Chains A and B, each alone.
Chain A
Amino acid sequence: ETTLTVHYPMPGFFKDVMDTISKKFMEENPDIKIQFASPSATYEEGIQTILRQAGTSEMPDVTFVGLNRLRMLNERKVGVDLSQLVQKDGNMTEQGFSDTILKLAQVNGKQVGLAFATSNPIMYYNADLVKAAGGDPDNPPKTWDEVIALGGKIKALGNGVDGIDFRWQGDDWMFSALLFGAGGKMLNEDESKVAFNGPEGQRAVETLHRMVTEGGMPVFTKAAGEQAFAAGKVGFEFQTTGALRNTIKNVGSKFDLRTAKIPLIDPVNGRLPTGGNAVVILTQDEAKQDAAWTFAKFAAGPYGASVVVPGTGYVPNNELAAKSAEYLGDFYKQNPLFRAGLSQMPVMVPWYAFPGTNGVKVTQTIVDNLSRIVDGSAEPKDALDDAADEVQGMLPRS
């Protein structure tokens, strides 16, 4: 019998999901026992825990890492390269792991993990407010211009109501939603130069700026925005589809909650970043690695997805799960709110991870400069250029 210690972040999202999956897994694989390490509150704390424990006896056998932190793990040579295991299996596609999906958890061609839960940013809206402001809830706005205009009208309703909550805080993910949506890129091809302050980037920050000036977006902290939206005080909210289940619970029957695709600045070339996390194998023990691989595939596989998707709001990362009625086929018919994320799957591209040791700091720098735009203390262009300058300085020299 093999015992695997499994660590995961964000128990608020994943505790029930993990419990269900591991139970089922142990039923199917009686010779493998799953035991959970204390979960971490966030992706960041999760990776800190892993890096601290790397090489110690405390290191878990399996962990789940935010997609944008895989690069960091790889650079620090923590975790097992799954490429051989993928090759050995040979039939990954049949198991539902298409190349696109495998790619989400690759760094420089190396298979660092298997994407477990994937997300993309969507638009949540309060149909009651939209109606009150003269919009058509069944026909939600498709461009940022429409969103901003309607947001302004909602704000004008008064009574402490705000138009938009765009989740720009925390990390660069939502910024990349605007940037990629305009067809832009973070760095140039060889990753030596900052590229996010090109015209696409400028349109992205301009859009953010207009949400504040015209769309009725206040300066919210992360939690404040979410709470205000749940309270029915915000018209549009833009954030990960992963938060859908919780948003539904928080809103209850207070208002008519709807979701829709997030607008793209460039509807043709626009892409969206993939959020979520991947399962990573840490153990160096051969026997455990096999067991861990089995678990990784199970969790990231169709059954896992069929648990994760309804339990959270993430989009299925496994094609079998999405298509087969055995898993999720009927689910989307019955739960239209979950369709927004699903419908955006074709435009998902990997969440960009910056190279070098300053990866995390770069994201923080971008967020800090965004906040200057949102609170009106800097012109969008200036803030963007400042961010570009600072980030350029943090990129690896060679």
Chain B
Amino acid sequence: MTTSALSLGRIIRLTLLSLGAIVFLAPYLFMISTAGKAQSDIFTSSLSLIPEHFNYVQNFTKALSRVPMGMLLWNGVVVCGLIFFFQVLVAIPCAYAMAKLRFRAARMMMVLVMLGLLVPIHATALPIYVAFDRVSLLNSYAALVAPFTISVFAIFMFLQFFRAMPDDLIHAARLDGMSEVGIVARVIVPNAWPAVTAFAIFSVVAHWNDLFWPLVVISKQDYATPPLGLMYFRAAEAGDDYGALMAATLTITLPLVAVFLLAQKRFVEGITMTGLKG
């Protein structure tokens, strides 16, 4: 199983994977190439990936100077960080209760969770917006973060994960004198890392890139998130500054890629509960 030689199967596999990767990466190749082109170079009839004049410096300078990129990135980090923190803080105890404790509302919770999974923020944006206005929450980190502090996706995912955790582990913790909160903090959380990491990827990606909600609640630039910042490069009518747009996109996508590279190792490492028998 650990043959390192190039067998036929392996060649086929590698070929398939590489071709697929090229297809999946194609838009990015275009993006990288465009980020280095002058505006007049971008739309030409000839297919060329390598820019005629290297305009990377100009485009990136524009991307960084035209919008306060540092502030945008910082806002993105703060918002995603807060959202993720609260999502995990809220979802883990809830999923634990649903998976490992007997209580009658568990079924009702499950229904709520499924419902939550189905309701897109677009559908409920207006009532939430009005409510936030009433309590003067608009234009704040709170407005960006609050509606997402509850992630039914997280509850759903942790639920699946916790169900697989053996009851005996929790029993042992109880006998060792831990309270239920203690069990969550000391046993569940440390062992839920793979699930938490996987969820982190989804959560951060979704909220880093979310444009819809910031557009609704944020009108002051102090709280603009990276996609909101990208708006400066986009317009409905003729001629966007595509080179700068792509440079800006690259700038805000790179942190995500870095996060994924860091996280993927940990969470693909596997979900193994090796404190146990068979």
The answer to whether A and B belong to the same complex is: yes
A residues sitting closer than 8 Å to B (CB atoms) are: 7, 10-13, 15, 36-45, 49, 52-53, 56-58, 60, 160, 170, 222, 226-228, 230-233, 239-240, 242-243, 245-247, 249-254
With a CB–CB cut-off of 8 A, which chain B residues contact A170? 236
With A42-B236, A45-B215 given, name 13 new contacts (CB 8 A). A10-B237, A37-B220, A40-B215, A42-B235, A52-B129, A53-B219, A228-B43, A232-B44, A243-B238, A246-B239, A247-B239, A250-B239, A252-B40
With a CB–CB cut-off of 8 A, which chain B residues contact A42? 235-236
Are A12 and B45 neighbours in the complex by a CB distance under 8 Å?
A: no
With a CB–CB cut-off of 8 A, which chain A residues contact B39? 249-250, 252
Is B28 at the interface (CB under 8 A from chain A)? no
With a CB–CB cut-off of 8 A, which chain B residues contact A40? 215, 231
C-alpha gap A242/B215 in the complex (Å): 25
Contact with A along B134-149 (1 / 0, CB 8 A): 0010110000000000
Nearest CB in chain A: distance from B205 CB, A: 22
Are A41 and B237 neighbours in the complex by a CB distance under 8 Å?
A: no
Contact with A along B12-44 (1 / 0, CB 8 A): 000000000000000000000000001111111
With a CB–CB cut-off of 8 A, which chain A residues contact B237? 10, 12-13, 240, 242-243
Is B248 at the interface (CB under 8 A from chain A)? no
Are A13 and B133 neighbours in the complex by a CB distance under 8 Å?
A: no
C-alpha gap A11/B235 in the complex (Å): 6
With a CB–CB cut-off of 8 A, which chain A residues contact B40? 230, 249-254
Nearest CB in chain A: distance from B242 CB, A: 9
Q: Among A7, A233, A239, which residue has its beta carbon within 8 angstroms of that of B238?
A: A239
Nearest CB in chain A: distance from B31 CB, A: 15
With a CB–CB cut-off of 8 A, which chain A residues contact B234? 11-12, 41
Interface size class of B (residues with CB under 8 A): 20 to 34
C-alpha gap A170/B129 in the complex (Å): 28
Of the candidates A38, A39, A56, A254, the one having the most CB atoms from chain B within 10 angstroms of its own CB is A38
With a CB–CB cut-off of 8 A, which chain B residues contact A49? 215, 219
Q: Among B43, B136, B238, B239, which residue has its beta carbon within 8 angstroms of that of A231?
A: B43
With a CB–CB cut-off of 8 A, which chain B residues contact A7? 219
With a CB–CB cut-off of 8 A, which chain B residues contact A41? 231, 234-236
Contact with A along B35-78 (1 / 0, CB 8 A): 00011111111000000000000000000001000000000000
Nearest CB in chain B: distance from A250 CB, A: 5
With a CB–CB cut-off of 8 A, which chain A residues contact B216? 52
Are A250 and B44 neighbours in the complex by a CB distance under 8 Å?
A: no
Which residue of chain A lies nearest to B239 when distances are taken between CB atoms in the complex? Answer: A246
Tell me whether A250 and B42 are in contact in the complex, defined as CB-CB below 8 angstroms, given that A11-B232, A13-B235, A38-B231 are known contacts. yes
Is B233 at the interface (CB under 8 A from chain A)? yes
Which residue of chain A lies nearest to B138 when distances are taken between CB atoms in the complex? Answer: A58
Within 8 A of A (CB), among B207-248: 215-216, 218-221, 224, 228, 231-241
Which residue of chain A lies nearest to B38 when distances are taken between CB atoms in the complex? Answer: A252
Within 8 A of A (CB), among B98-156: 126, 129, 133, 136, 138-139
